[in-house]
Amino acid sequence: MKDRSLVKYTREELGQVPDETDWEKVDAMTDEEVYQNALNDEDAQPTDKTFWQTAPLPSYLMNVDSDILKRKGVSNDENAND
């Protein structure tokens, strides 16, 4: 199992982290292969409309006026400004 601990980096530190992505391999993959690899990753499962209708809003949207959210197609039953 992967280590699930969080690590914080500064912008400068992130600039020093080597890119270990095999971009040639990624570029050679078909869309179907990318999709199948995502399905095999427990952290990258597909979502559907129902998921997004019931997903909690990020904290930075919690105090956005509900009328604005509704115009954008987002519902927020917990919005403090209702």
pLDDT digit string (tens) for 17-57?
A: 899 999 999 999 999 999 899 899 998 888 888 888 888 87
pLDDT value of residue 30: 97
Distance CA 77, CA 37 (A): 35
7 by DSSP, 3-state: which? Answer: coil
Instruction: Count Cβ atoms below 10 Å from residue 62 Cβ, excluding itself.
Output: 13
pLDDT grade for 74, boundaries at 50, 70 and 90: confident
pLDDT grade for 72, boundaries at 50, 70 and 90: confident
How would you class 69 by CB atoms within 10 Å of its CB: exposed for 0-12, middle for 13-18, buried for 19 or more? middle
Distance CA 43, CA 40 (A): 9
